[in-house]
Amino acid sequence: MEDRKGAPAARTPKTVLLGVTGCIAAYKSCEIVRGLQKRGYRVKVMMTEHAAEFVGPVTFRSLTHEEVSIGLFDHPSDPIHHISLAEEADLILLAPLTANVMAKMACGIADDLFTTTLLAATCPVLIAPAMNVHMWQAAATQENLARLRNRGVAVVEPATGHLACGYDGQGKLAAVEDIVERACEMLEEESLLAGRRVLVTAGPTHEPIDAVRYIANRSSGKMGYALARAARLMGAEVTLVSGPSALSDPQGVRTVRVTTAQEMLAAAEDAFATADLAICAAAVADYTPAHPAGHKLKKTEEHLDHVELVETTDILRRLSEYKGRRIVVGFAAETDNVVSYARDKLARKGCDAIVANDVSAADSTFGSDTNRIRWITADVEKDFPLMSKDRTARAILHEAAALLARTA
């Protein structure tokens, strides 16, 4: 679009709705406003009533040149203000976020402007909690945090250090520059996979020996679930095919629960029929009992000392055989010779890329919350540092999106 003088019209900046709650770190929200503005974003502020005890709304009005929203009925000209606020935002950033408001979010409580706006929001949400170290470590807080992550809420975790309450530990608001950077990443990533269909496999498979015993592995599904959440936040339509896992279905993701390798193969092939990208993060059993019993075998009577095994179908190789111009990414979880084994797997399977990681390391093994990976293609090797599995998932998807772009 051009203006009347023929010059290109200024691009409308995206809007960040910054939510400030009642915490001593609320003064740092002013710096967050300035950081976002310097990156070219429009910022509006909503506050809880308790937040206004720490920083006055006049301060935010002066910084943003926008009205500051506090009370549910403060805007008589807009009788449904919590809806219009939610619809106006491209991203909602809550910094600092108290344990109390986090708990309300997790439970879906909507008893003021702040929480009703959050419940009405359909845009991405990023939270930066801040609180006393014991409040942060409390089981209730960690359960609430896990619930929010599962719904796709992004998190900048508190930093560790000396807290305003006098304690030392994790709980202080993360560095302003880290919060601003993560917000900007989300605003830039939200359309990275728009219009794409993504298949993710996750977790272990259970191969039955009899009615109560099975062959399995230590996979928790955390990496695959993080990939599914991240792909959805990047605009993709996501199908997650999950083996047995204690994790809850990610919100906004079509989740297909399976048990065996054969069931995972069928579900993966069905989803791959319309997918643009498949990421095979599941740890699928290589073998399955040839003759599983329908009852519990008795070890003294029915020869449990010998179980005949047959190979399962290789899902990664099967999808790669008929992928065409679609992209298929596999995982190589190794304990030694990680790179050489991963490169061999890339060649044997025929996929486009392998994500290699050393599962003998405590910080990147099955069930850990962090990962250290190497991205490997036919002509590229790229190492990534130790990161949370959510950040690892985003790094993988950035690389996969680049491969997709080449096929467009």
Q: Is 374 exposed, middle or buried (0-12, 13-18, 19+ CB in 10 A)?
A: middle
Asked which of 189, 208, 236 is the last residue of a domain, the reply is: 189
Q: Domain check: are 168 and 84 in the same one?
A: yes
Residue 26 within a domain: yes
Asked which of 189, 223, 242 is the last residue of a domain, the reply is: 189
Q: Domain check: are 369 and 232 in the same one?
A: yes
Question: Rounded to 5 degrees, what angle do the CA atoms 225, 228, 234 make?
Answer: 145
Q: Which of 170-184, 194-208, 214-228, 359-373 has the lowest mean pLDDT?
A: 359-373
Residue 296 within a domain: yes
373-376 sheet: strands from edge to edge: 254-257, 237-242, 197-202, 277-280, 327-334, 353-358, 373-376, 381-383
User: Which pLDDT score, from 0 to 100, does residue 2 have?
Assistant: 43
Is 107 in the active site?
Answer: no
pLDDT band at residue 1 using 50, 70 and 90 as cut-offs: very low
Contacts of 95 (CB under 8 A, 6+ apart): 18, 19, 20, 28, 29, 32, 126, 127, 128, 130, 156, 173, 179
User: Which pLDDT score, from 0 to 100, does residue 44 have?
Assistant: 97
Alpha-carbon distance of 104 to 374, in angstroms, equals 39
Do 115 and 94 contact (CB within 8 A), yes or no? no
Residue 185 within a domain: yes
- 184: domain CATH number? 3.40.50.1950
Q: Domain check: are 175 and 272 in the same one?
A: no
User: Which pLDDT score, from 0 to 100, does residue 4 have?
Assistant: 41
Q: Is the peptide bond before 96 cis (omega within 30 degrees of 0)?
A: yes
User: Does residue 19 sit in helix, strand or coil?
Assistant: strand
In this predicted structure, the answer to whether residue 246 has a pLDDT above a threshold of 50 is yes
Alpha-carbon distance of 292 to 207, in angstroms, equals 9
Q: Domain check: are 150 and 56 in the same one?
A: yes
Tens-place pLDDT, residues 301-345: 766 778 899 999 999 999 999 999 999 999 999 999 999 999 999
Residue 7 within a domain: no
**DSSP structure class, residue 103:** H
Q: Domain check: are 212 and 100 in the same one?
A: no
Residue 311 within a domain: yes
Q: Domain check: are 183 and 211 in the same one?
A: no
Tens-place pLDDT, residues 47-79: 999 999 999 999 999 999 999 999 887 776 666
Do 244 and 217 contact (CB within 8 A), yes or no? no
- 346: domain CATH number? 3.40.50.10300
Tens-place pLDDT, residues 122-168: 999 999 999 999 999 999 999 999 999 988 899 999 999 999 889 99
In this predicted structure, the answer to whether residue 7 has a pLDDT above a threshold of 60 is no
Alpha-carbon distance of 119 to 48, in angstroms, equals 15
Q: Domain check: are 114 and 146 in the same one?
A: yes
To the nearest 10°, the Cα dihedral for 235, 357, 206, 208?
A: 150
Q: Domain check: are 26 and 143 in the same one?
A: yes
Q: Domain check: are 138 and 221 in the same one?
A: no
Angle between helices 57-64 and 28-38 (to 10 degrees): 10
**DSSP structure class, residue 8:** B
- Strand 373-376 and strand 327-334: the pairing is unpaired
User: Which pLDDT score, from 0 to 100, does residue 306 have?
Assistant: 81
Asked which of 164, 189, 214 is the last residue of a domain, the reply is: 189
Identified catalytic residue from 165, 184, 280, 351: 165
Residue 97 within a domain: yes
User: Which pLDDT score, from 0 to 100, does residue 79 have?
Assistant: 65
Q: Domain check: are 154 and 213 in the same one?
A: no
User: Which pLDDT score, from 0 to 100, does residue 299 have?
Assistant: 75
In this predicted structure, the answer to whether residue 378 has a pLDDT above a threshold of 70 is yes
Q: Tell me which residue has tokens 């919060």.
A: 179
Average pLDDT over residues 102-106: 97
Q: Domain check: are 236 and 179 in the same one?
A: no
- Tally of structural domains, the chain: 2
Nearest Cα residue to 407 out of 324, 318, 320, 347: 324
Do 189 and 14 contact (CB within 8 A), yes or no? no
| pTM of the predicted model as reported, rounded to 2 decimal places | 0.85
To the nearest 10°, the Cα dihedral for 82, 83, 84, 90?
A: 100
Contacts of 264 (CB under 8 A, 6+ apart): 201, 205, 241, 243, 258, 282, 284, 315
Domain that holds residue 251: 197-407
Residue 221: alpha-carbon gap to chain centroid: 13
Alpha-carbon distance of 84 to 313, in angstroms, equals 51
Nearest Cα residue to 125 out of 224, 46, 211, 16: 16
Torsion 335-340-344-350 (CA) sign: positive
Q: Domain check: are 174 and 235 in the same one?
A: no
In this predicted structure, the answer to whether residue 346 has a pLDDT above a threshold of 90 is yes
Residue 205 within a domain: yes
Token reading at 112: 């003021």
Alpha-carbon distance of 196 to 401, in angstroms, equals 10
Q: How far apart are the first and last CA of the chain?
A: 26
Residue 150 within a domain: yes
Q: What is the mean pLDDT of the chain?
A: 93
